[in-house]
Structure 1
Amino acid sequence: MKKLLYSFLLLSSATLFAQKNTSTRFAVANDIVGTVDMFSNNLKGYVQSSRTFRSSAELPQNLKKFVNIADNGLVEYKLKSGLGTLDRLSLADLNTQYNLAKNTPVLIDGYEFANTDTLVYGDILRNVKVVDNNGSKTVSVSTQK
């Protein structure tokens, strides 16, 4: 009975972890994915300007590839020049760090990123672990502390 209960708890926690976190507001700067919280809390000094899109229908052509993460809108930031670069890595590199195939989709706050060529800012990688997603292992990232 204990094994059954433990198995149920483990499965339900993995399922809950993989659900979309609807409070996450994604942001993009220089075609690199981050979050609005990241820019407004930690990187205010890097931001030159921002433009908010309230829905995926409003996205301009250059941001259409991010339509799957625009449920809560999307903010595009323009960064100041001359301040250096922010840490970033591709999702394929993240998969490699966790011994998964480079083309394995990655979950970020429950949103699936199938294109592992996508770059993300290192600041959003708060809690990273490998989870079982519909029978296959995948990297799951939580942007919350």
Structure 2
Amino acid sequence: MKKLLYSFLLLSSATLFAQKNPTTKFAVANDIVGTVDMFNTHKNKIQSTQTYKAANLPQNLKKFGYIAENGLVEYKFKSGQGVLDRLSLSELNAQYGLAKNTPVFIDGYEFTNTDTLIYGDILGNMEVIDNKGSKAVSIITKK
């Protein structure tokens, strides 16, 4: 009975980590992914913003449709202001000793294209989780 209970608790916790956070609103600038909360801390560097609903993404943002569930905001930096730390998800996987093509979860959203660049400012809490029997990096953007 204890083994059954332990197995259930382990499965439940893994499932909780992989759930999408409904309050996360993703944003993109220069084809690099961040969150609206992250960009709010860099307001002085922002030239313009444009908010899109998932169904109305322009062609250049359609590749980010899988994270546009709550809409997607496109930011444009002022000239010379777009210098924020960034890294690819494959580099993040390598830091954790995982295969470079291992999907990464950000607030429960699965990023399967590990060539995707993200801003370092969204790297709040990170851990390796069990994802259907294999390991994956999970990032929770709220610190």
Classify the TM-score, shorter chain: over 0.9
**Residue 8 (structure 2) aligns with:** 8
- Is 1:45 equivalent to 2:49 in the alignment? no
| Mapped partners of 1:46, 1:78: distance in 2 | 9
- Which runs of 5 or more structure 2 residues have no equivalent in the other structure? none
Contact kept in structure 1, 2:45 and 2:82, CA below 8 Å: no
- Which runs of 5 or more structure 1 residues have no equivalent in the other structure? none
Equivalences, count: 143
- Is 1:86 equivalent to 2:107 in the alignment? no
CA apart distance, 1:3: 5.5
Aligned mate of 2:125, from 124, 127, 131: 127
RMSD, aligned CA? 1.3
Percent sequence identity over aligned pairs: 74
Of 31-40 and 8-17, deviating more is 8-17
Q: If the length of structure 2 is used for normalisation, what is the TM-score?
A: 0.94
| Mapped partners of 2:82, 2:102: distance in 1 | 31
| Mapped partners of 1:36, 1:97: distance in 2 | 26
Aligned mate of 1:57, from 50, 55, 58: 55
Distance 1:131 1:120, change over 3 A: same
**Residue 102 (structure 2) aligns with:** 104
Q: If the length of structure 1 is used for normalisation, what is the TM-score?
A: 0.93
CA apart distance, 1:5: 4.0
CA apart distance, 1:62: 0.3
